[in-house]
């Protein structure tokens, strides 16, 4: 669905100082969109500060070696400094963490650029295209609307956004123009081989040890059509890993032959259980996640359930098993992304 980018152009023209926000536990698409939008705003003669409400994931530190992306917290005056907000890769209050509370406390003009189906009324101009395989595509469109081109740094960041939200170009949302966009970003300065090395060939030993525990615990149910595994909060201390190291682990559950839905249960510090769903083509896991208060895409979604682990596991497995029985008899149509909400 085409976006009317004139609203963004007008929004930028009306303000000088912008905060660029995204969801907590940011992934490559979120961080790439933040850095790309900051580059665009600065090319337009504006001031911009990218901010997140959680720890910056070490996997993506190579994208922001100057450490421009700030962590919002006590003593950070960014919301007093800002005149307007641009929120990328989410439009959901629960995904904004402490930034969400700060937004509610200040009556700042705000605009959302996103590609997820799940959207809240965050009091913003909403520029949403759920057919985009990555939010990074929308930031490139924003550059075009403003008559600008990404700098080499921004091109690299947006290449990460595109590559990570398409599983390095193997998800079902990938189409011919995905590669055309990737080619354009390479011509603008992105280096795929260098980016790939940072993302996939420089993982920590601690993350590898944590993955080993996930693989060891993996089980199948529903005649092999559901595979699931778990991360216990105690695993972080035992392996030296950190919570963001679990990114992509759910893909291993879906990778087993015959599995329709893969699920990863991740115990949080407060005892709640974060649940990530991945499906092939028979189950709309976004519907399942929304039933539990979460959201996402048809093939990738997530939610958080109350603990303990056994209760969360039983609830999620029961819902997915029911969907396998009652779900569509033909594959779901292709969707924009396999990134969860």
Report the pLDDT value the prediction gives residue 339, as an integer from 0 to 100.
Answer: 56
- Alpha-carbon dihedral 268, 283, 319, 286, rounded to 10 degrees: 50
The answer to whether the beta carbons of residues 23 and 89 sit under 8 Å apart is: yes
Residue of higher predicted confidence among 340 and 63: 63
Element (H, E) at 230: strand 226-231
The answer to whether the beta carbons of residues 135 and 6 sit under 8 Å apart is: no
When mean pLDDT is compared across 74-83, 220-229, 251-260, 262-271, the lowest value belongs to 74-83
Q: Which CATH architecture has domain 6-200?
A: Alpha-Beta Complex (3.90)
Residue 127 has pLDDT above 60, yes or no: yes
For the segment 174-197, the average pLDDT, to the nearest whole number, is 97
> Which residues have CB under 8 Å from 56's CB, separation 6+?
26, 64, 69, 71
Residue of higher predicted confidence among 79 and 340: 79
Average pLDDT, the chain: 93
pLDDT tens-digit map of 35-61:
999 999 999 999 999 999 999 998 999
Confidence of residue 337 (pLDDT cuts 50, 70, 90): low
Task: Report the DSSP pairing between strands 70-71 and 47-52.
Answer: parallel
Confidence of residue 269 (pLDDT cuts 50, 70, 90): very high
Closest of 298, 227, 222 to residue 262, by C-alpha: 227
> Which residues have CB under 8 Å from 327's CB, separation 6+?
282, 283, 284
Closest of 176, 142, 200 to residue 20, by C-alpha: 142
Report the pLDDT value the prediction gives residue 340, as an integer from 0 to 100.
Answer: 56
Closest of 230, 232, 304, 287 to residue 262, by C-alpha: 230
CA 80 to chain centre: 27
- Alpha-carbon dihedral 104, 109, 115, 121, rounded to 10 degrees: 50
Report the pLDDT value the prediction gives residue 333, as an integer from 0 to 100.
Answer: 44
Confidence of residue 73 (pLDDT cuts 50, 70, 90): confident
Report the pLDDT value the prediction gives residue 335, as an integer from 0 to 100.
Answer: 47
Q: pTM (2 decimals)?
A: 0.85
Residue of higher predicted confidence among 325 and 21: 21
Report the pLDDT value the prediction gives residue 334, as an integer from 0 to 100.
Answer: 43
For the segment 123-131, the average pLDDT, to the nearest whole number, is 96
* In the chain, where the domains are located: 6-200, 205-326
HSE toward the beta carbon, residue 81, CA cutoff 13 A: 14
Element (H, E) at 305: strand 300-305
- Is the CATH number of domain 205-326 3.10.310.30? yes
Residue 121 has pLDDT above 50, yes or no: yes
Report the pLDDT value the prediction gives residue 327, as an integer from 0 to 100.
Answer: 61
Same fold, 6-200 and 205-326: no
For the segment 132-150, the average pLDDT, to the nearest whole number, is 97
């Amino acid at each position: 669905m085409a976006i009317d980018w004139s609203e963004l152009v007008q929004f930028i023209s009306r303000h000088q100082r912008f905060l660029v926000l995204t969801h907590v536990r940011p992934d490559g698409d979120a961080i790439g969109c933040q850095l790309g939008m900051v580059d665009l705003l600065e090319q337009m003669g504006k001031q911009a500060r990218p901010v997140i409400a959680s720890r910056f994931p070490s996997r993506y530190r190579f994208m922001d070696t100057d450490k421009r992306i700030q962590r919002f917290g006590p003593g950070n005056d960014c919301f007093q400094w800002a005149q307007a907000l641009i929120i990328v890769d989410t439009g959901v209050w629960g995904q904004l963490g402490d930034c969400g509370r700060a937004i509610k406390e200040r009556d700042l003009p705000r605009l959302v650029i996103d590609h997820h189906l799940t959207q809240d009324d965050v009091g913003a101009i909403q520029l949403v295209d759920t057919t985009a395989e990555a939010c990074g595509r929308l930031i490139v469109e924003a550059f075009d609307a403003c008559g600008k081109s990404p700098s080499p740094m921004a091109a690299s960041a947006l290449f990460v956004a595109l590559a990570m939200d398409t599983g390095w170009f193997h998800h079902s949302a990938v189409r011919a123009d995905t590669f055309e966009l990737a080619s354009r970003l390479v011509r603008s300065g992105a280096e795929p081989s260098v980016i790939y090395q940072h993302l996939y060939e420089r993982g920590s030993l601690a993350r590898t040890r944590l993955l080993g525990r996930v693989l060891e615990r993996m089980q199948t149910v529903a005649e092999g059509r559901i595979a699931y595994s778990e991360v216990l909060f105690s695993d972080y201390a035992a392996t030296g890993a950190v919570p963001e190291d679990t990114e992509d682990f759910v893909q291993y559950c879906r990778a087993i032959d015959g599995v329709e839905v893969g699920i990863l249960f991740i115990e949080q510090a407060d005892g709640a259980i974060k649940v990530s769903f991945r499906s092939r083509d028979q189950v709309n896991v976004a519907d399942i996640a929304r039933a539990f208060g979460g959201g996402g895409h048809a093939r990738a979604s997530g939610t958080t359930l109350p603990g303990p682990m056994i209760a969360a596991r039983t609830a999620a497995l029961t819902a997915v098993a029911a969907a396998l029985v009652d779900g569509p008899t033909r594959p779901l149509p292709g969707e924009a992304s396999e990134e969860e909400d």
